[in-house]
Amino acid sequence: MPAPTHQKFRVTGLKRSAWALLVPAFCSVAGCSWLPSWMGGTPSRVVQPTPLTELKPTLNARVAWRTSVGPSRRDVLQPAVVENAVYVAASDGAVVRLSPDSGQIVWRSDIKAPISAGVGSDGFTVAVGTARGGVVALGADGIEIWRSQIGGEMRSPPLVGRDLIIVRSTDYRITALDAASGKRRWTYQRANVPLTLRSPTELVYAGDLVIAGFPGGRLVALNSANGAVRWDVAVSEPRGATEVERLADVVGAPLVIGGEVCAASYQGRVACFAAANGNLRWSSEISAGSGPAVDDKRVYVVDSKSNVMAFNRAAGSIAWKQEKLLHRAMSAPLALNRAIVTGDYAGAVHFLAPEDGALVARVMLPADIVATPRALGGGAVLQARDGTVALIVIE
């Protein structure tokens, strides 16, 4: 299997002429799995992923169903799993409802615009974002309700719930739209740092708060009713002499569980805070490549080199580190009852023991896994870049 040719992160905020100075520094901190020639990339900078070795599974994981909905190309499109449906999208404009039991297509709707962000759903309303700054809302029957223009490209799935559809554009502006009409309720924007990672980040609810991560390592809680800031805390502080060394963006999705909000940042930390007021519970150093997963005992993070790490949830001390997946461009993890699930650039879905990180099972899908696995029952729904959507269960 060839080395991955996609970047988990892209860096934005600079003219091309500046890259001649920044590429060497960026490679030293980010690992440079691949860079195009205009950014200074050369074959000598290719980082080879760790080869997979034969695995004798101690856990039985299998594909329960698999279907194809259309490729996501360079977009990171996420499945939305609700009680009675799985909603997925393709870059060509297709929004699809799947049966969670069989994976069969219930309906397929064409919004007639390239989709760059999705899918978000609360079970009643389904929302996606387009490459030209449009938000399209569909009913659970696949019929379009409205579409609205927010004026900026989206990469993160809309957050749907509490009669709102909340979206974030690539300039990190957050806009709340009325779920019934598409009318703008409120907008929140903060000053951006000069250099950011163009990494998919998600919004999550914590009660009546909307939790959002930002460049510079900030985590912000907004009042869902009016967008007012409830609290604003540092997951990590930028460090270093150059803008590249100071990259410290919150990556992936913050995670809310049991009155806590946990988040992770690139070249920074994983940290957990009290959801009510943002008070720090604990933090631990890591250069994260994705948002965290969590269970009753541990917080799990994939770092920027694709090592999978577990931290004790009570105090933040390191529980274990799995280094056999180095440079395999791992997706964000998902914590199930019996395993931690993450997928890689070659379509391999890896299952790790929560207690010690041992590799206990592997399932192959036909293309790279970039979307975060979503829990369904006791299994995981995964979407590959070629459009394959699969439910993998543990027996």
For residue 108, what are its two tokens? 């397929």
Q: Which CATH number fits the domain 11-394, given the four candidates 3.10.290.10, 1.10.357.10, 3.40.50.620, 2.130.10.10? A: 2.130.10.10
Order of strands across the sheet with 359-364? 334-335, 340-343, 348-352, 359-364
Instruction: Give pLDDT, residue 24.
Output: 39
Instruction: Give pLDDT, residue 29.
Output: 41
For residue 291, what are its two tokens? 């948002």
What torsion do the CA atoms of 82, 131, 182, 230 make, to the nearest 10 degrees? 70
Instruction: Give pLDDT, residue 46.
Output: 67
Residues with Cβ < 8 Å from 15, sequence gap 6 or more? none
For tokens 């990180």, the residue is 357
Instruction: Give pLDDT, residue 75.
Output: 84
Evaluate whether 229 touches 252 at the Cβ level (below 8 Å).
no
DSSP-assigned states of every residue in 215-281: GGGEEEEEETTT--EEEEEES----SSSTTTT---EEEEEEEETTEEEEEETTEEEEEEETTT--EE
pLDDT tens track for 106-163: 999 999 999 999 999 999 999 999 989 999 999 999 999 999 999 888 999 999 999 9
Q: Report the SS3 class of residue 28.
A: helix
Evaluate whether 221 touches 235 at the Cβ level (below 8 Å).
no
For residue 273, what are its two tokens? 């805070």
Whether the pTM exceeds 0.85: the reply is: yes
Instruction: Give pLDDT, residue 12.
Output: 55
**Nearest-5° angle of CA 4, CA 198, CA 109?**
85
The sign of the dihedral angle between the CA atoms of 112, 113, 115, 117 is negative
Evaluate whether 141 touches 162 at the Cβ level (below 8 Å).
no
Instruction: Return the H-helix or E-strand segment holding 21.
Output: helix 19-30
Query: Residue 127 to residues 29, 183, 254: CA-CA distances in angstroms?
Result: 36, 14, 20
Q: Where are the domains of the chain?
A: 11-394
Instruction: Give pLDDT, residue 1.
Output: 52
Q: What is d(CA 259, CA 394) in angstroms, rounded to the nearest whole number?
A: 29
For residue 101, what are its two tokens? 């039991």
Beta bridge pairs of residue 160: 165
Per-residue pLDDT of the chain in tens (395 residues, 90 and over written 9): 555 544 455 555 543 333 333 433 444 344 444 333 223 333 345 689 999 999 999 999 999 999 999 999 888 899 999 999 999 999 999 999 999 999 999 999 999 999 999 999 999 999 999 989 999 999 999 999 999 999 888 999 999 999 999 999 988 899 999 999 999 999 999 987 778 777 778 999 999 999 999 999 999 999 999 999 999 999 999 988 888 889 999 999 999 999 999 999 999 999 999 999 999 999 999 999 999 999 999 999 999 999 999 999 999 999 999 999 999 999 999 999 999 999 999 999 999 999 999 999 999 999 999 899 999 999 999 999 999 999 999 99
